[in-house]
Amino acid sequence: MTSAVTRAIAWSMAVTCALGLLIVAGSRTLAHFDAALVAYTFAVLFATFGLTYRYAMWLQRPPTGLYWRRGWQTFFRRGRQRRNVALGVQRVGLDLLANRFIFARGTARGLTHMLIMWGCLLAVAITFPLVFGWLYFRPVPGDLDLYEAMVFGVAAFTFPHDSLVAFLLFHGLVWSSFLVIAGVMLAMRRRMREQGPMAVQRLVEDFLPLILLFAVSLTGLMLTASYTWMKGYGYTFIAILHAVTVIGTFLWLPFGKFFHVFQRPAQLGVTFYKDAGREGEPAYCRRCGHAFSSRMHVEDLIEVQRQLGFTYEIPGSAVEHYQWICPRCRRASFVAAQASAWRGHRGGGPLADARPMRPMPVHVNGGLGQGPLGQEDAENFYP
């Protein structure tokens, strides 16, 4: 067992045990814990262990580990903390909660993701506290017309049982199911009609998450229909079916596509890394002399490649390392090397013969319009 695996297991056990202790403490030593929901609880604990393990392994990879460290370093740069906090709040609101980066790729795609995301968040916000015993409702002693919400065993607020608040609270999972089902339908439509997704989609990675979400939402709505309009007909069977779909989803959660839900917030650090790169010293191509990236990014990339065992150094050359060559010159050098080989040339080569400020080709399309992200696409477009 490698040290990385050992550290990942240690973190997973620590986080899982911490959640278990919170469940015991939040339910007042299990006094308010519903034993009928114990299978849900163990499924969540399993998912917590698996997600933490995978996340810890992900962060120990050289590329993601470096981005993680650099993200925090650039966020806490001296003199930038206040501005970075404001930018962080803005980016969390626009990129994560409002899905701006997905709406930029298409309105239907953004709406699909928005419906699924907010449906799942609403369901988690309601279900987890109920399952863990952190939240429950009880009639107010002496006034049976009022309900009292108990949070961690402490009375939080009261509301009439026939009020709009009660209707919205007690049917919260119904609203979340409607949102998820609508999002799943839009996602299935895209995967069955658009040729781009159809060319690369796979059952396990693309269809199984949608099937699981649909099954959980539909069986949840069937429970509501059973006790509301059908006098409990088939309730026991539907409850077992719903439990199977929910538990199966939690058991599969650490291994499938849903892991990106937990990865995405960490990518906010990349935006601060890019900000620091734009404001810092640029990296100049050692073949044509033009700026093409940030010096910090190139140096970090060289370090990561060394950690991964890739050696692209060019001994005895002013270039020093292949990463100091811009993408355009890499393609030009490849063509020049082929031409030299065709002519039988065995001399220094196109990179070793670098000369300062060679003319760079100017393209009609500078990158804008090549993708939906505007300036970011232009920065990463090398025709």
The reported pLDDT for the residue numbered 154 is 87
The reply to whether 160 falls in a domain is yes
Sequence-ordered list of residues with C-beta below 8 angstroms from that of 380, at least 6 positions apart, any chain = 367
Do 207 and 331 have their domain in common? no
Range of the domain at 156: 3-268
Any idea how long the chain is? 383
The reported pLDDT for the residue numbered 187 is 93
Q: What is the pLDDT of residues 335-365, one digit of tens each?
A: 777 777 776 655 555 554 545 555 655 555 5
The helix/strand/coil state of 361 is coil
Q: How confident is the model at residue 372 (pLDDT cuts 50, 70, 90)?
A: low
User: Which CA distances in Å does 195 have to 94, 172, 300?
Assistant: 29, 36, 37
The reply to whether 274 falls in a domain is no
Q: What is the pLDDT of residues 168-222, one digit of tens each?
A: 888 999 999 999 999 999 999 998 888 888 888 888 888 999 999 999 999 999 9
Do 97 and 10 have their domain in common? yes
Quickly count helices (H) and strands (E) in the chain. 16, 7
The reply to whether 50 falls in a domain is yes
The reply to whether 34 falls in a domain is yes
Do 45 and 79 have their domain in common? yes
Last residue within a domain, chosen from 233, 268, 303: 268
The reply to whether 276 falls in a domain is no
Task: Compute the distance between CA of residue 291 and CA of residue 201 in angstroms, rounded to an integer.
Answer: 38
Do 236 and 293 have their domain in common? no
The reported pLDDT for the residue numbered 287 is 84
The helix/strand/coil state of 140 is strand
Do 79 and 153 have their domain in common? yes
The reply to whether 292 falls in a domain is yes
The reply to whether 305 falls in a domain is yes
- Tokens 């009639």 -> residue: 139
The reply to whether 291 falls in a domain is yes
Do 248 and 111 have their domain in common? yes
Q: Is 381 a residue whose pLDDT tops 90? A: no
Q: What is the pLDDT of residues 19-36, one digit of tens each?
A: 999 999 999 888 888 888
Do 249 and 343 have their domain in common? no
Last residue within a domain, chosen from 268, 299, 326: 268
Judge whether 128 and 26 are in contact, CB under 8 Å.
no
The helix/strand/coil state of 352 is coil
H/E stretch holding 94 reads: none
Please state the separation of Cα 162 from the chain's center in Å. 39
User: Which CA distances in Å does 70 have to 92, 157, 332?
Assistant: 19, 44, 32
Q: What is the DSSP letter of 228?
A: H
Do 294 and 228 have their domain in common? no
Do 224 and 80 have their domain in common? yes
Do 145 and 60 have their domain in common? yes
Query: What DSSP assignment string belongs to 304-347?
Result: HHHHTT---EETTSSSEEGGGS-HHHHHHHHHHHHHHHHTT--S
Query: Average pLDDT of the chain?
Result: 86
Last residue within a domain, chosen from 220, 235, 268: 268
The reported pLDDT for the residue numbered 382 is 60
Q: Residue 150 forms beta bridges with which residues?
A: 136, 155
The reported pLDDT for the residue numbered 260 is 87
The reported pLDDT for the residue numbered 345 is 53
Q: What is the DSSP letter of 253?
A: G
Neighbours of 82 (CB within 10 A): 8
The reported pLDDT for the residue numbered 95 is 87
Do 218 and 353 have their domain in common? no
- Tokens 């919170």 -> residue: 22
The reported pLDDT for the residue numbered 295 is 93
Q: What is the pLDDT of residues 76-102, one digit of tens each?
A: 988 888 899 999 999 999 988 998 888
Count of structural domains within the chain: 2
Total-model pTM: 0.83
Do 110 and 143 have their domain in common? yes
